[in-house]
Amino acid sequence: MIRIDCPHCGVRDHTEFTYGGDARREFPGLDCTDMDVWNEYVFLRDNPRGRHTEIWQHSQGCRRFLTVERDTLTHEIFSVVDSAGAPSARQKG
């Protein structure tokens, strides 16, 4: 079971959150008209193994977007930071 330590609400079960994808992916930009670029951004995803940075939204809590660094094999969470840039007081080293 994955438990995410929300910087605003405390430790919660992952079922309160919505997975938002890879935090390292760069948005192509609204002025981009290249359909291949958009196709890759929307549909082609890596399936990393090990330590990875992801976006999660606390959809059943504070509704904030969080950047979560976790191991995709063990589900160990290394850090949780508000995606707006405010570091979590609960952040783990």
pLDDT in tens, 23-32: 888 889 999 9
Contact 57, 65 (CB under 8 A): yes
Q: CATH code for 3-27+36-82? A: 3.30.2270.10
What is the SS3 assignment for 35?
helix
Q: Where are the domains of the chain?
A: 3-27+36-82
- Whether this prediction's pTM lies above 0.95 is answered by no
Contact 58, 16 (CB under 8 A): yes
User: Average of pLDDT values for 31-54?
Assistant: 91
* CA atoms of 79 and 88, how far apart (whole Å): 8
